[in-house]
């Protein structure tokens, strides 16, 4: 198999039902398509996108999970090999923000300890319906050590979608090069064989 | 007021707000523009009601025209059969099965589904008091007052078949019905409540059936031994786990090369087959084919599911083996096969018959039975107090043991699949002969005609004949025994709510009043 990338990162999207996880993935993947009516994600959906950061070709494996609580027994089994996790909530539904603690618990229980985490407040185009302030979300970001950064996005208007994925990829890339520098045997990333052998655990 | 009480009140208000919207329908409320999809530019609605934003090809039109023509020719025979259903079922089972495999005329689908799922019998239960609302109405009333699944159901309706004329408009009549059926069922079968997937199943039922019929059809699919989908949807998905294990075994045995390929690409069946089992192939294969599978599923029961899953992979094995990465494989399973299956519906059904026979011969047509009961443990209609977290609409903090087991199981599955590559080698030789079978059928395809019953007897390949013989052994409906328990519903609970009604029974107002009382 030819190697058409230098690094491979697995990113899992989690968050309450209907916060727009699948819309974010579709928007990121296609660039110009916003699907207003996604069907519900049953279990886990998978897609890929190649991006370039500097001179590195990066392949992102994106795992879009069902938000329905009943499916968490299946979705959580996909956390463990993730390099990055994006927690999504809906800025117009406070409940989805309040669930954050539960999602963080799931991350702590089921992912590797060095996972990179981002918090995304989606649907920021719906200004009038806002129920969660930017400050509140930033507070979470400051208090919770796992959460690396916070961004508000709109899958509908294509705001910050690519930025969110790029930023998480950059962070993973930096960590990767640190590890390379220290010559540690930590994350085994890159090389197409990490896909074929399923060795991309960290 | 404590914080907890406040939260509870908030959850209640939210539920009532949602229920109100569905009660009002499209009139009498302002619907946010965002709620309705924009289909201003649509070109065509297909014969099943789906709206296509791309102009349909001429081939598609031509295919529809042909299908309709054949169906008109067959309709007379079908009408006769429906009229004398019970007699026909007893004396002419083989013909009934043959006809269903050949395709139910769309116009008669409703009647046939009602018969196959034994709906009429369930609905015409004798009641002591004529003024007393039906079980369905009682459940609906209770559901509006107490169901903790309202939010989830509302979320899912908002994205269910929005490209279908019935479900396109927010709070349309069919959306209202879908909401009602799911809310009522979440009360009727509280062990199950509501799980994603059930909205899709119910929506398909509602394309053909009325509200109350769809409720009973859903119930049949969940609790009748023949389908027993209850076990697919409950926490921990015990039945799904058995199906996945069986599916892996089938692949290892019959399609080892493909199995090896999928394992190599980390394509665990959890990733591609969930919707096949959960929603009986809806939105994974073209709708016309899907309906044919549903017809056969209603006739034969759950053994259709493993056989159809196997059939899809068998027919597409050669194509799949050419893909280079997970992305392409996923795309194929999720979108391409739905848009264009690449084989005619009739051909797929023929292949399905062969698959059913192959699996039956090897005793792999169904997964080994479960040690645990996967049907409701309590009597249907029993009220089970929801947890506080459920009442508040929050995720529960801890994973239950069942959930933990499933997580471990799914992890173990993917690891095992990675390790099982050696076993598969042994079966590789067999696979080549299986693929040959498929080629053989395609030789026949041109010769097969589906225009007339009598021609059926002339179809020469033996597999299908053997298959039909064995088909006659399966029963059509087994629900009537199971329904006995329903008559002993927890009456007291409902009477409290319906008592105030002074003679004339006005259901809608009753609900409105009852949610008002709550506020």
For residue A179, the distance in angstroms to the closest alpha carbon of chain B comes to 26
Mean pLDDT, residues A74-88: 91
Token digits of residue B388: 């506080």
Residue B199 and residue A99: Cβ atoms within 8 Å? no
**How many of the other CB atoms lie within 10 Å of CB of B82?**
14
Whether A70 and B402 lie within 8 Å, measured CB to CB: no
Query: Do residues B494 and B438 share a domain?
Result: no
Query: Which H or E element spans position A61?
Result: strand A56-65
Instruction: Answer whether residue B5 is part of any domain.
Output: no
Question: Which overall architecture, per CATH, does domain A7-194 show?
Answer: 3-Layer(aba) Sandwich (3.40)
Q: Which of A17, A74, A196 sits opposite B410 (nearest CB)?
A: A74
Rounded Cα distance, B475 and A67, in Å:
38
Which residue would you say has higher pLDDT here, B129 or B204? B204
- DSSP H helices in B198-286: 198-208, 211-223, 230-233, 238-254, 256-264, 269-278
Strand pairing report for B44-45 and B51-52? antiparallel
Cβ contact B157:B178 at 8 Å: yes
Q: Determine whether the interchain pair B334/A45 forms a contact, defined as Cβ–Cβ distance below 8 Å.
A: yes
The answer to whether residue B77 is domain-embedded is yes
Judgement on whether residues B442 and B501 belong to the same structural domain of the protein? no
Instruction: Give the integer Cα–Cα distance in Å for B20 and B22.
Output: 5
Chain B positions touching A47 (Cβ under 8 A) are 327, 330-331
Cα distance from A61 to chain B (closest Cα, Å)? Answer: 9
Does B124 share its domain with B263? no
- pLDDT band of residue B32 (cuts 50, 70, 90) is confident
| DSSP conformational letter for A58 | E
Q: Across B285-289, B456-460, B495-499, which has the greatest mean pLDDT?
A: B285-289
The dihedrals phi and psi of A151, each to the nearest 5 degrees, come to -140, 145
Asked if A90 and A20 count as a contact pair (C-beta separation under 8 A), the reply is yes
| Contact with chain A for residue B8, Cβ under 8 A | no
In this prediction, residue B126 carries a pLDDT of 60
Counting Cβ atoms within 10 Å, is residue B382 exposed (0-12), middle (13-18) or buried (19+)? middle
User: What would the mean pLDDT of B238-257 be, rounded to a whole number?
Assistant: 96
Which one of A34, A46, A90 makes the best mutation probe of the B interface by having the most chain B beta carbons within 10 Å? Answer: A46
Rounded Cα distance between B173 and B170, Å, is 9
Taking an 8 Å cut-off on Cβ atoms, the answer to whether A45 and B236 are in contact is no
Mean of pLDDT values over A4-33: 90
B390 and B499 housed in the same domain: no
Give the list of residues 6+ apart from residue B179 with CB closer than 8 angstroms, or none. B22, B153, B154, B157
Averaged pLDDT, B4-33: 86
**Which residues from A are below 8 Å from B399, CB to CB?**
72-73, 76, 109
Residue A27 and residue B350 in contact, taking contact as beta carbons nearer than 8 Å: no
Cα separation, A107 vs B109, whole angstroms: 47
Averaged over B473-500, what is the pLDDT? Answer: 40
**What is the DSSP pairing of strand B44-45 with strand A56-65?**
unpaired
Task: Indicate if the pLDDT at residue B465 is higher than 60.
Answer: no
Give me the residue from A1, A68, A77 closest to B196, CB to CB. Answer: A68
Q: Does B196 touch chain A (CB under 8 A)?
A: yes
CATH number of the domain where residue B446 is located: 1.10.472.80
**Would an 8 Å CB–CB cutoff place B155 in contact with chain A?**
yes
pLDDT confidence of residue B473: 34
Contact A1 B271 (CB under 8 A): no
Flag if A102 and B395 touch (Cβ within 8 Å): yes
- The reply to whether B6 falls in a domain is no
What gap in Å lies between CA B507 and CA B505, rounded to an integer? Answer: 6
Residue B283: predicted pLDDT: 94
Of all residues in chain B, the percent with pLDDT exceeding 70 is: 76
Residues 6+ apart with CB under 8 A from B506: none
Instruction: Give the ipTM of the model, two decimals please.
Output: 0.83
Q: A46 and B326 in contact by Cβ < 8 A?
A: yes
* Tens of pLDDT, residues B344-378: 999 999 999 999 999 999 999 999 988 878 999 99
Do B433 and B394 sit in the same domain of this protein? yes
Nearest to B325 among A17, A48, A105 (CB): A48
Chain A contact present for B416, CB below 8 A: no
What is the chain B residue with the closest CA to A39? Answer: B159
- Which tokens in the block code for residue B188? 């009727």
Other C-beta atoms closer than 10 Å to the C-beta of A36 total 14
Query: Shortest CB distance from A99 goes to which of B162, B271, B395?
Result: B395
Distance CA B351, CA B147 (A): 43
Residue B242 has pLDDT above 50, yes or no: yes
Strands A56-65 and B51-52, by their bridges, are unpaired
Q: Is the pLDDT of residue B39 over 60?
A: no
B238 Cβ under 8 Å from any chain A Cβ: no
B11 falls within a domain: no
pLDDT band at A59 (very low <50, low <70, confident <90, very high): very high
Name the average pLDDT for chain B: 81
Examine the pLDDT at B220 and tell me if it is beyond 80: yes
Rounded (to 5) percent helix, strand, coil in chain A: 35, 25, 40
Q: If you measure CA to CA, which chain B residue comes closest to A36? A: B37
Neighbouring CB atoms inside 10 A of B362's CB total 12
Nearest CA-CA partner of A120 in A11, A8, A9, A4? A11
Q: Which residues of A touch B331 (CB under 8 A)?
A: 47
Give me A106's structure tokens: 């799931």
Per-window interface: B 261-280 vs A, CB < 8 A: 264-266, 270-271, 274-275, 278-279
The domain of B286 spans 233-479
- Note the residue count of chain A: 202
CATH of the domain at B108: 1.10.8.270
- Cβ–Cβ below 8 Å for B200 and A39: yes
Are B208 and B61 in contact, with CB atoms under 8 Å apart?
A: no
Quote the percentage of chain A above a pLDDT of 90. Answer: 55
B166 with B248, same domain: the answer is no
Q: Are the C-beta atoms of residues A115 and A84 closer than 8 Å to each other?
A: yes
Tell whether B506 and B393 lie within a shared domain: no
Clarify whether residues B421 and B377 are in a common domain: yes
Q: Closest to B395 (Cβ–Cβ): which among A45, A48, A69?
A: A69
Mark yes or no for CB contact B404/A43 under 8 Å: no
Lowest mean pLDDT among B5-9, B181-185, B287-291: B5-9
Mean pLDDT across B463-488: 36
Exposed, middle or buried: residue B75 (CB in 10 Å: 0-12, 13-18, 19+)? middle
- The answer to whether the Cβ–Cβ distance between B195 and A196 falls below 8 Å is no
Please report the pLDDT score of residue B100 as a whole number: 96
pLDDT, tens only, B377-396: 999 999 999 988 888 888 88
**B386 class by beta-carbon count within 10 Å (0-12 exposed, 13-18 middle, 19+ buried):** middle
Write the residue in A43, A48, A109 that is nearest to B326 by C-beta: A48
B144 Cβ contact list (under 8 Å, min separation 6): B19, B183, B511, B514, B515
- Decide if B1 is inside a domain: no
**Taking Cα atoms as reference points, which of A180, A169, A120 lies closest to residue A147?**
A120
Is the domain of B262 the same as that of B193? no
By the CB < 8 Å criterion, does A34 face chain B?
A: no
Which residue, among B351, B294, B286, B296, has the nearest Cα to B60 in the 3D structure?
B286
Domain ranges of chain A: 7-194
Domain presence at residue B396: yes
Displacement of CA B33 from its chain's centroid (Å): 31
| Sign of the alpha-carbon torsion through A165, A166, A171, A173 | positive
Residue among B228, B253, B243 at smallest CA distance from B361: B253
C-beta atoms of A43 and B270 within 8 A: yes
B491 has pLDDT over 50: no
Helices (H) and strands (E) in chain A, counts: 7, 6
In the stretch 47-66 of chain B, residues with CB closer than 8 A to chain A read none
Model pLDDT for residues B68-85, shown as the tens digit of each residue = 888 888 888 999 999 999
Chain-centre distance for alpha carbon A103: 13
Mean pLDDT of B279-297: 97
Query: Residue B441's closest CA among B354, B356, B359?
Result: B354
CB B23 within 8 A of CB B183: no
> Which residue, B63, B64, B75, is CA-closest to B99?
B75
Instruction: Give the number of domains in chain B.
Output: 2
Read off the tokens for A51: 């991006």
């Amino acid at each position: 198999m030819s190697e058409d990338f230098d690094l491979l990162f697995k990113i899992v999207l989690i968050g309450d039902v209907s916060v727009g996880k699948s819309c974010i993935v579709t928007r990121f993947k296609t660039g110009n398509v916003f699907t207003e009516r996604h069907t519900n994600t049953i279990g886990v959906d998978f897609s890929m996108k190649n991006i370039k950061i500097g001179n590195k070709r990066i392949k992102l494996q994106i795992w879009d999970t069902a938000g329905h609580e009943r499916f968490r027994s299946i979705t959580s089994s996909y956390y463990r090999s993730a390099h990055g996790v994006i927690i999504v909530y809906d800025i117009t539904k406070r409940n989805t923000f309040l669930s954050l603690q539960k999602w963080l618990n799931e991350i702590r229980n089921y992912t590797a300890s060095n996972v990179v985490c981002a918090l995304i407040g989606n649907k920021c185009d719906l200004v009038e319906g806002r129920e969660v302030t930017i400050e509140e979300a930033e507070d979470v970001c400051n208090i919770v050590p796992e959460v690396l950064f916070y961004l508000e996005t709109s899958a509908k208007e294509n705001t910050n979608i690519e930025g969110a994925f790029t930023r998480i990829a950059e962070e993973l890339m930096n960590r990767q090069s640190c590890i390379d520098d220290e010559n540690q045997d930590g994350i085994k990333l890159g090389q197409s064989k990490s896909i074929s052998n399923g060795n991309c655990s960290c | 007021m404590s914080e907890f009480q406040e939260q509870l009140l908030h959850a209640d208000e939210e539920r009532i707000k949602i229920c109100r919207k569905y009660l009002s329908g499209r009139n009498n409320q302002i619907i946010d523009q965002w709620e309705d999809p924009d289909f201003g530019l649509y070109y065509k609605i297909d014969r099943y009601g789906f709206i296509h934003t791309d102009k349909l090809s001429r081939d598609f039109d031509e295919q529809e025209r042909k299908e309709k023509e054949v169906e008109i020719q067959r309709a007379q025979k079908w009408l006769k059969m429906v009229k004398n259903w019970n007699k026909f079922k007893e004396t002419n089972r083989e013909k009934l099965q043959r006809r269903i495999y050949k395709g139910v005329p769309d116009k008669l689908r409703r009647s046939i589904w009602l018969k196959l799922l034994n709906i009429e019998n369930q609905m015409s239960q004798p009641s002591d008091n004529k003024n007393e609302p039906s079980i369905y109405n009682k459940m609906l009333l209770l559901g509006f007052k107490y169901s903790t699944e309202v939010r989830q159901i509302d979320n899912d309706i908002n994205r269910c078949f929005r490209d279908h004329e019935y479900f396109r408009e927010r709070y349309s009549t069919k959306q209202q019905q879908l909401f009602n059926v799911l809310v009522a069922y979440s009360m009727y079968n509280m062990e199950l409540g509501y799980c994603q997937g059930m909205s899709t199943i119910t929506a398909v039922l509602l394309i053909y059936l009325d509200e109350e019929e769809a409720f009973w059809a859903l119930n049949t699919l969940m609790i009748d031994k023949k389908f027993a989908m209850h076990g697919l949807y409950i926490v921990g998905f015990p039945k799904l786990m058995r199906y996945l294990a069986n599916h892996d075994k089938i692949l290892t045995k019959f399609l080892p090369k493909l199995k090896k390929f999928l394992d190599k690409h980390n394509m665990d069946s959890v990733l591609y087959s969930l919707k096949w089992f959960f929603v009986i192939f809806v939105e994974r294969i073209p709708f016309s084919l899907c309906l044919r599978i549903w017809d056969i599923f209603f006739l034969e029961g759950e053994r259709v599911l493993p056989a159809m899953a196997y059939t899809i992979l068998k027919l597409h094995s050669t194509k799949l083996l050419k893909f280079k990465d997970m992305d392409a494989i996923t795309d194929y399973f999720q979108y391409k096969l739905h848009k264009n299956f690449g084989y005619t519906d009739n051909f797929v059904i023929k292949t399905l018959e062969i698959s059913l026979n192959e699996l039956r011969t090897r005793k792999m047509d169904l997964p080994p039975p479960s040690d645990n009961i996967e049907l409701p443990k309590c009597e249907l209609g029993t009220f089970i107090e929801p947890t506080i977290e459920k009442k508040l609409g929050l995720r529960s903090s801890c994973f239950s043991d069942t959930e933990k087991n499933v997580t471990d199981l799914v992890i173990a599955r993917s690891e095992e699949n990675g390790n099982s590559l050696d076993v598969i080698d042994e079966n590789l030789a067999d696979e080549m002969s299986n693929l040959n079978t498929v080629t053989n059928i395609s030789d026949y395809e041109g010769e097969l005609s589906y225009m007339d019953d009598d021609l059926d007897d002339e179809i020469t390949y033996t597999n299908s004949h053997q298959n039909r013989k064995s088909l006659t052994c399966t029963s059509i409906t087994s629900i009537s025994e199971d329904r006995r328990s329903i008559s002993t519903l927890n009456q007291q609970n409902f009477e409290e709510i319906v008592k105030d009604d002074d003679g004339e029974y006005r259901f809608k107002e009753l609900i409105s009043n009852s949610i008002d009382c709550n506020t």
